Chain A
């Protein structure tokens, strides 16, 4: 199987109560490969949730096609391989987390034999071991999110589609979730999730997709993007010319100069010039660019 998710020219429309049609997603094409961890980024109202809903079959695309693991997106068969976490996790207030998971396990068709042991294990895995028999209505937002995460992991799905996965979780919860998701990836699962927490995205993803106003703006492999965003700082003394290498120079005290380079080649050339001109290299620093700056830049350019 070549694609875990394939979307081709996907368009999703909504009709408002006033009768006006809103184009939430316009001609969106992308693919997610098996075993990949892909972050789906975009500002509020960009069309992320609409895309995920179309993939799950909650809304019918106005045009275009989408497949999940080679099966038509939204079909019952496709959904049997997918674990889905909705954007706002709400679960029956008068059921307990264990009863909630049991309900979904029954709908999923998970064999009854050993089910209770599996549920206990899953509740422990998401940190709800001791809260499994309390009513959902008594749980906090973060604890409910954990119920949501647990239900998405039921039946060990091959593909996880998670909408705002870190919503409501505290830093410890986020760390646990990260470890949990990475362990699922190590077991061969594909992860496709939307999030506004770019630091989480940086730590988890192999690739990111950025959309805005229903249009795909960027699809970048994160390791490539990181090296592209990396800047090199050099502090030196001496009169070496940096013409043609960088114009980002800053005079410091005691005759020191700080120069910033876009790439490693520029940095090496600058070091060579300094050393040939009797100068002295005092410090070399690599600065990793932030995904947040890049995200803001991409969205700003598209606006």
Chain B
């Protein structure tokens, strides 16, 4: 029953996104990537394979992260602003179901955009005889998990702040997460015993988005895929963090007057 509700909500998000031509943005970005690769190819890619792959994963990662932030931060506030929320919540569904359905829709849309970028970038690199290894598939899988986590974060932030503030905050957390984690680790090492639990708690709260980016590893030739238990752990972390994040959003949204 719930699966039907979530699927119906997610499909409507996806269908609207496609018909609104949101994914055209992705196609344009993809075209830019292909064109850039073409320009790079004029100089030849011999010996620059790692650089090209690194650049490709960075660009694809950045674009898809921005899209994930923008899509997820807009999805609930738009319902309220456009007054399309009322006929939805007049149905016998809980606000939790509504949030989960919308989140699934945002994740699907982001994944499709990410998939399009990956295919376009991959094709343009293949044209220049750049070879991919199995680890590249792991990069795609882990990045997709990371994008799902970012979507849940964006959705939750949009319940607590305006859509633009939420998008900004979401981008900051998504991009600066590795730097913030490093800073927290350094602060932890330098702090006295009484402050250590605080830094541990902050580290726990911070989304560890950097863990999901295998781009640099995948760019280097000859690197073995990461062990399967690592991917499994990342999956578990993404699910738990997303669940916790949506739960936090639901705590406010469940009784929010609309």
Q: Pick from B19, B86, B91, B94 the residue with the most CB of A within 10 Å.
A: B91
Complex interface: chain B residues within 8 A of A60 (CB):
255, 257
Complex interface: chain B residues within 8 A of A82 (CB):
90
Interface residues in B1-20 (C-beta closer than 8 Å to A): 1, 4-5, 7-9, 11-12, 15-16, 19-20
Q: How far, in angstroms, from A57 to B98 measured CA to CA in the complex? A: 15
Is A94 in the interface zone, CB < 8 Å from B?
Answer: yes
Interface residues in A104-145 (C-beta closer than 8 Å to B): 104, 106-109, 135
Interface residues in A228-269 (C-beta closer than 8 Å to B): none
Q: How far, in angstroms, from A60 to B93 measured CA to CA in the complex? A: 17
Q: How far, in angstroms, from A76 to B7 measured CA to CA in the complex? A: 19
Contact A86 B19 (CB under 8 A): no
Contact A103 B92 (CB under 8 A): no
Contact B258 A109 (CB under 8 A): no
Contact A106 B8 (CB under 8 A): yes
Q: How far, in angstroms, from A107 to B8 measured CA to CA in the complex? A: 7
Q: Which of B16, B82, B89, B258 contacts A95 (CB 8 A)?
A: B16
Chain A minimum-CB-distance residue to B93: A107
Q: With A92-B16, A103-B12 known to touch, is A148 a contact of B87 (CB < 8 Å)?
A: yes
Is A79 in the interface zone, CB < 8 Å from B?
Answer: yes
Contact A88 B16 (CB under 8 A): no
Contact B84 A91 (CB under 8 A): yes
Contact A151 B16 (CB under 8 A): no
Is A77 in the interface zone, CB < 8 Å from B?
Answer: yes
Complex interface: chain B residues within 8 A of A151 (CB):
87
Q: Output the least CB separation between A18 and chain B (Å).
A: 16
Complex interface: chain B residues within 8 A of A79 (CB):
90-92
Q: Which of A56, A59, A106 contacts B90 (CB 8 A)?
A: A56
Contact B20 A107 (CB under 8 A): no
Q: Output the least CB separation between B230 and chain A (Å).
A: 38
Q: Output the least CB separation between B75 and chain A (Å).
A: 12
Q: How far, in angstroms, from A58 to B92 measured CA to CA in the complex? A: 12
Complex interface: chain A residues within 8 A of B94 (CB):
76
Interface residues in B155-169 (C-beta closer than 8 Å to A): none
Contact B91 A95 (CB under 8 A): no
Complex interface: chain B residues within 8 A of A76 (CB):
92-94
Contact A108 B257 (CB under 8 A): no
Complex interface: chain B residues within 8 A of A59 (CB):
257-258
Range of interface residues on chain B? 20 to 34
Is B83 in the interface zone, CB < 8 Å from A?
Answer: yes
Q: How far, in angstroms, from A37 to B143 measured CA to CA in the complex? A: 56
Is B205 in the interface zone, CB < 8 Å from A?
Answer: no
Q: How far, in angstroms, from A86 to B7 measured CA to CA in the complex? A: 24
Contact B257 A14 (CB under 8 A): yes
Q: Output the least CB separation between A127 and chain B (Å).
A: 19
Contact B16 A103 (CB under 8 A): no
Q: How far, in angstroms, from A90 to B94 measured CA to CA in the complex? A: 21
Is B88 in the interface zone, CB < 8 Å from A?
Answer: yes
Contact A77 B92 (CB under 8 A): yes
Contact A94 B15 (CB under 8 A): yes
Complex interface: chain A residues within 8 A of B86 (CB):
58, 84, 86
Chain B minimum-CB-distance residue to A163: B86
Interface string of A42-61 (1 = CB under 8 A from B): 00000000000100111110
Interface residues in B88-124 (C-beta closer than 8 Å to A): 88-94
Q: How far, in angstroms, from A60 to B144 measured CA to CA in the complex? A: 38
Q: How far, in angstroms, from A80 to B4 measured CA to CA in the complex? A: 16
Is A280 in the interface zone, CB < 8 Å from B?
Answer: no
Q: With A58-B257, A106-B5, A109-B4 known to touch, is A92 a contact of B92 (CB < 8 Å)?
A: no
Contact A109 B1 (CB under 8 A): yes
Is A27 in the interface zone, CB < 8 Å from B?
Answer: no
Q: Output the least CB separation between A5 and chain B (Å).
A: 15
Q: Output the least CB separation between B9 and chain A (Å).
A: 7
Q: Pick from B11, B92, B258 the residue with the most CB of A within 10 Å.
A: B92
Q: How far, in angstroms, from A59 to B12 measured CA to CA in the complex? A: 25
Q: How far, in angstroms, from A40 to B90 measured CA to CA in the complex? A: 19
Contact B19 A135 (CB under 8 A): yes
Complex interface: chain B residues within 8 A of A200 (CB):
none
Contact A90 B83 (CB under 8 A): yes
Complex interface: chain B residues within 8 A of A109 (CB):
1, 4-5, 92
Complex interface: chain B residues within 8 A of A77 (CB):
92
Chain B minimum-CB-distance residue to A78: B92
Chain B minimum-CB-distance residue to A60: B255
Contact B15 A107 (CB under 8 A): no
Chain B minimum-CB-distance residue to A102: B8
Q: How far, in angstroms, from A151 to B86 measured CA to CA in the complex? A: 12
Chain A minimum-CB-distance residue to B1: A109
Is A99 in the interface zone, CB < 8 Å from B?
Answer: yes
Q: With A59-B258, A86-B83, A88-B83 known to touch, is A107 a contact of B16 (CB < 8 Å)?
A: no
Residue contacts A-B, CB under 8 angstroms, 6 given: A90-B83, A91-B87, A92-B16, A103-B11, A106-B8, A108-B92
The 5 closest A-B pairs by CB, nearest first: A106-B8, A80-B92, A94-B19, A84-B90, A86-B86
Given contacts A80-B92, A104-B87, 5 further A-B contacts (CB under 8 A): A59-B257, A86-B90, A91-B87, A104-B91, A106-B4
